[in-house]
Amino acid sequence: MNKAKITSSEKSVSTSSRTMSLLSQLEKINLDSVLGEANNARYVTSKILHLVQSQEKTRKEMTSKGSTGIEVILSTLENTKDPQTILNILNILIEVVSAGGGRRASVLVTKGGTQILLQLLLTTSKDSPPNEELMVLLHTLLAKIGPKDKKIGMKARINGALNISLNLVKQNLQNHRLVLPCLQVLRVYSTNSVNAVSLGKNGVVELMFKIIGPFSKKNTSLMKVALDTLAALLKSKTNARRAVDRGYVQVLLTIYVDWHRHDSRHRYMLIRKGVLQCIKSITNIKLGRKAFIDANGMKILYNTSQECLAVRTLDPLVNTSSLIMRKCFPKNRLPLPTIKSAFHFQLPVIPASGPVAQLYNLPPDVDDVVDESDDNDDAETESEIETENDDDKDQHFKNDDIETDINKLKPRQELGRPIEELKMYEHFFPELSENFQECDLVSKEPKPFVPDTNLSGPIVVPTAGEEHSGEVNQSTKGVALESNPLLTEEYNRRPAFLELPKKDSIRDSSLHQQNDQRNPLPTCQCLSQEIVNGLDRISLQNSAKNDQYYGTGCVIKKESKTSLTVLACNKPCEHVSPCGSSLFEGSSVQLGKLCCTGVDSEEEDSRSSSSGEQVTLEVSDVSPVHDCDLYIEMVKTTKSIPEYSEVAYPDYFGHIPPPFKEPILERPYGVQRTKISQDIERLIYQNDIIDRVVYDLDNSCCSVPEEADVLKFNSKFESGNLRKVIQIRKNEYDLILNSDINSNHYHQWFYFEVSGMKTGIGYRFNIINCEKSNSQFNYGMQPLMYSVQEALNSRPCWTRVGTDICYYKNHFSRSSIAAGGQKGKSYYTITFTVTFQHKDDVCYFAYHYPYTYSTLKMHLRKLESMNNPQQIYFRQDVLCETLAGNSCPLITITAMPESNYYEHIYQFRNRPYVFLSARVHPGETNASWVMKGTLEYLMSSNPSAQCLRESYIFKIIPMLNPDGVINGNHRCSLSGEDLNRQWQNPNPDLHPTIYHAKGLLQYMAAIKRLPLVYCDYHGHSRKKNVFMYGCSIKETMWHTNVNAASCDIMEDPGYRALPKILSQTAPAFCMGSCSFVVEKSKESTARVVVWREIGVQRSYTMESTLCGCDQGKYKGLQIGTRELEEMGAKFCVGLLRLKRIASPLEYNLPSSLLDIEKELIESSCKVTSPTTYVLDEDEPRFLEEVDYSAESNDDQDIELADNVGDYEATNQEDGLSDSDSTRILLS
C-alpha cells in the first residue's frame, strides 16, 4: 500500500513538473525567433494538448492564480504563423474553457484572449479559401468566452470582424459543422443593439428563416442555435419591425404549431421554446403585438399551452406562452367615468403645486382614464441609438435616496414658530401646573370605586399567548331572541337596524307606526335561507334606563312597550340599499341585513309564549371595551363626506380574536398561471362573459339584480371602500376600488359587504385596480372575512379566508395622469376565491382588520369610564378639528401623584414625556390595533403598568387622519395628500392634525420638555414581522461612500436601545428588519422631522406587518389582533426597561443592548419606491414570482449567462442542456 501511494505521488509531481517544463519551453521558443522553431512549437503544444485532454489537474494548473500558463499560450498564438501550432493552441484553450465553466472563460478574457482571437479571425478570413478547421475552432472558442466579455460586440465591430461570421454562414449553409459555431458567435454579437441593427441590415434575419423550419429530426442542434440567434437579433426594434413587415410572425406561429403537434414525446422542448422566445422578442413592439393578434396568436398559444399543462417539464413553454399573451392582451381602460374619487370634497385652499393642484386644474372634458402611451411607443427613429451605454454601465448599485449631506443629517433644533404663537398649546399641558390640592391623595389606598353600570369589567392586558377557552358560559352563549309570539317571527326575518338620531335630528318612530300596518309573516322552517324580502323593521331607540351589559358580553335588552317598535310594511320602499336594507328617509343609522340561526317553528312558539315582552340580542365574549349601543352613539357624531347612514355589522358587534392559529397560506403551484389563463379566456371566448354591473357608486340608478344567483354588494358605511362591481362569469366578479378623496390613485384598502351567496360554490373576486408592484398576497397573506351568521352564533370575529390567492399585473392601463406622468403603467389584480359556509349569509371582506374612527371614540369613552381617577390621571382633549369637522383626540395618561405634598407633585410634573401617534395612513389599520394594545395596557391595573405610569407622562394622538379613516381612504386625508409627507411645512388649513401635532412638539421643545421617545405607529404592506425605522447620522453615512467623514462623527448610540429591548421581549419584533438610515424621500416624515427639527434622538416609526411573521414565536403564522395588541403592550414594557437603563443612575448602558459596531445591519439596501424603503432580504425569491417585464423591452439576456434554469427539463436532443432557460417566473 505504501509503495502504491509513493508511486502515485511521484506520478503527480512528475505530471506537474512536466507541464511546467513544457510551458517553459514554449515561452523560450516565443523569445527566440530562430528558424526551425516552428517545429519545436508544434511539438510542445501537441504535448501540452495531450496533457490537457487527459489530465484535469493540468487544466486547473494552467488557470490557477499565479500561473502564467494562459499568458504563454496566448502569446504563442499571437506570434506564431504555423497553422498546426494555432490549431493545437485553439484545442488547448477549448479544452481548458469547456471543463472549467465560467471562471476559466473569465480568466481567458482578462488575459486579453478576446482581442487576440478576433485578430486571428480577421487574419484567417483573408485566406482564400479560409481554413475550415481553423474557423470552426475559432468560432467555437469565441462562442464559449463571448458571454463573459461584456464588450465583445464592440471589439468585434471595431476590429471589422462583425460580418466575417455572417458571410461564412451565407456561403456555407449546407456545411452544418461550420455554420453551427458561426451562429453561436452571431448570437453573442447580437446582445449589443448596435451590432444587431448592423447585422439586420446585412440580411441576417432573412438568413435565419432559411435555416429554421417545420418539424424535422435532422439538424436539430442547428435549428436550436438558429432560433436562439434569431431571438437575440429580434430584441432590436429595427429587426423586429423588419420581421413584422415580411410576415414572419405568422411563419413563427406556424412553425411552433407544427413542432407542438409532432413532438409528442417532448424531446425537442428547447426548439419549441426557442420559437416562443422569437415571438416574445418580436412582440416587444406595438406592430409585433398587432401582427400577433391578427395572426390569431392568442388562441394558438392559449390552446397549445393548455395542452402542455399536464406535463410538468413543459412548464417553461406554458410560462413563456403566458408571458407573450399577457403582453399582447389589448390594453383596456378601467370601466369608470373618471379615476378621481366617486366622492367630492371642496378644499378650503388649493395647493399651488403638486398632484392635488394638477387634479383641480384639469379641464373638465379631459378623459383621465384612458392611457395614450401605446399609440406612440414606436415613435422612435428606424435606427437604434448608437451608444455603448450597456457596455459602460456601472454594475455597482448606488442608492441615490440615502441622504449624504452631513449638514442636512445633523439635527438642528428649531422651533419654527414664535413662542407667543406656541403658547396656544399650553392648555394641553395642565399636568404641569396642577397642584391637586383639592384631591385627597395622602393615602395610597384607593377610595372605594363603584364602576358604572355600563362597564363590561376590568381591562384585560392583551397577551397573544393566552388562548380563549373553547367553553363558553351558557348564560351568554348564542343569540337569544325573546319576545311575544306575535313579534318573534318578524324579528327573525327582518333586517334589524338601529334608528338613532343623526346630526341632532330626532324622528318620532310613532309617525311610522301610524302609517304602517302590522302584517305577520308565515312561519319559517329555516330562517337563514331567506333574509328579508319585505321591509319588516325593528327600531331600537336610545333608552339608557333599559340598557344592560354583562361581564363578557354585549347584551341588549329592550322593553317591548317602551323601546321596541315593530313595523311591517306590505308595500315596496323607495329607500332600499343594494343589500336589501332600508333607511328611514336618510335620517337614521342603519345596520345591514341580519341573518339569524334557523329555529324550529314549534320550539320557537313555545319559547315565545313563555318569554316576557322583551327582545334580547346576545353576543358573547365581546371585547370588554366594546359596547354596541355606545358605538351607535359614537357613529351619530361622525361626519363623512358621503353622509353614511349605515353601520357595518362587524363594527357594531365587535371582534374577538379566533381561538385558533392562522398559518401563512401555502401557495399552490401554478395558481397565478391559471388565473392569468382565465383572464386570457375573456378575450378568446368573449361570448362567455356576462359583463354586468351589479354595484356602482357613480350610478345611483344602478339596479340591484333580482336573480338569486347574483351576489349583492355594499360599501356605504364608515371606512368602506368599493366603487364598482362587474359580474364577469356566473361566480366571478371584478371589483374596482375608490380612489382617495381629492386624489386619483392609492387603491389598496378595501372593506365591503357581500350577501346573497350559496354554499358549496367557489366565488372568485378580482380587485383589478391596485397600484403597488408587489404584495404580501403573493407570499401567504389572506384577506379577512366577517360572517354575520357566525357572529350571531357567538363567534364574532374576522378570520383569514381565501384560496388561489395571487397578485399580478393585469391588462387594465393606468393613464399618465394617474401614474404621475409615467406612461405605459398597468394596474394590478388581487384575486382570491371564497367558499361560504352559510347560505344567504351577510359577509364582509377587508384588506386588514378594520378599526373605524367611531370605534376609537367608543374605545376612548369606555377607557375613560373604567378609569379609577385616584390611581390614573386620564385626560382627553380635542387637539383640533379636521377638514370635515371631526375632532382629533389627544390623550394624556400618567399616574396620579401619591399625595398632594410638594415632593410628590414635583415628581409628577417632572416625569419625562413619551409622545405616541398612529394611523396617519388610513389603510394601515394594524397601527390602530397596536395603539389599542398600548392604551389598554396603560390603563390596566397591572403593577408594571402602574410603574410605567409613575415613570412617564404619555401624550398620545391615536388617530392622526380621522377623515381618511372615516371615508375609506388608503393613504391620504381629504386634502388628497399623504399627511406623513407634510411634517416639514404643514398647512393649518389643509393639514390641521399635523400642524397642531407638530405644534405640540414644538411647544414641548420651547419649554425644555422634549419627549424621551417619539413613536409613530404604521403598517407595512411588503414586509413581515414588526420592526422600527429610526434615525442615525453614522449609520446613514456607513451606507454611502462617504466613509471618511463618518469616522469623525460622535453619536450617542442610545437610539438603538428601544428596538434592542423590543427584539428581546416582543415575539413579533425583528431587529434584523430595523433600519436607522435617513433617506431623502423621507425628510418630511414625522420620524425624520421630529428627530432633525425637534431634537428627539429616539424618534421612530414602528411598522407592523399586514401579513405575518417569519421568525420567532409566531414564525409561519399570519398576524392577528391579539398579536398586534400584544405588540402595543410589549412596547410599553420596553419603555419601562428603557427608563431603567436610561436613568441618570444607570447612564452607562449595557453593551449587549448597544453594541452598535458588532450588530450593525450589514444588509445592502435599496429604494424600491419613493415611499417604501426595503432591505434586500425583504422576501426570498419565490418560485412563481411575477415576471413584471411583460411590457418592457429591457429584459436582460439571461440566456447568455451561466444561470441554471429553474426548470430541469429532460433534454435528449443532441446532448444539449437547458442552460439557456430564462427564468420566467409566471405561475
Catalogue the active-site residues. 1103
Amino acid symbol at 1013: V
Q: Following DSSP, what letter does each residue of 27-71 receive, concatenated?
A: HHHHH---TTHHHHHHHHHHHHHHHHHH-HHHHHHHHSTT--HHH
Cα three-residue angle 258-234-218, rounded to 5 degrees: 35
Percentages of the chain per state (helix, strand, coil), in multiples of 5: 45, 15, 45
d(CA 64, CA 324): 44
Q: How many helices (H) and strands (E) does the chain have?
A: 44, 26
Q: Following DSSP, what letter does each residue of 419-437 receive, concatenated?
A: HHHHGGGGGG-GGGT---T
User: How many of the other CB atoms lie within 10 Å of CB of 48?
Assistant: 27
Residue 680: its H or E element: helix 671-684
d(CA 57, CA 64): 10
Q: How many residues does the chain have?
A: 1227
Single out the residue of 27, 11, 101 nearest to residue 69, CA to CA: 27
Single out the residue of 1011, 1099, 1104, 1110 nearest to residue 1056, CA to CA: 1099
Q: Following DSSP, what letter does each residue of 913-938 receive, concatenated?
A: EEEEEE-SSTT-THHHHHHHHHHHHH
Amino acid symbol at 536: D
End-to-end Cα distance, the chain: 58
HSE value, Cβ hemisphere, 13 Å, CA-based, for 1030: 25
Phi, psi of 646 (to 5 degrees): -110, 155
Give the largest Cα separation in the chain, rounded: 127
Residues 6+ apart with CB under 8 A from 150: 391
* Pure H helices in 346-405: 355-361, 389-392
d(CA 297, CA 374): 19
Task: Give 1163: exposed, middle or buried? Use CB within 10 Å, 0-12, 13-18, 19+.
Answer: middle
Q: Tell me the three cell numbers of residue 302.
A: 392559449
Give the CA distances from residue 298 to residues 314, 329, 504, 673, in Å, rounded to whole numbers and listed in that order: 19, 8, 61, 15
d(CA 557, CA 560): 9
In contact, 1195 and 232? CB cutoff 8 Å = no
Phi, psi of 376 (to 5 degrees): -130, 25
Residues 6+ apart with CB under 8 A from 31: none
HSE value, Cβ hemisphere, 13 Å, CA-based, for 432: 14
d(CA 918, CA 1128): 11
Residue 729: its H or E element: strand 724-729
d(CA 1205, CA 23): 38
Q: Tell me the three cell numbers of residue 881.
A: 378639528
User: DSSP character for 542?
Assistant: -
d(CA 440, CA 1190): 73
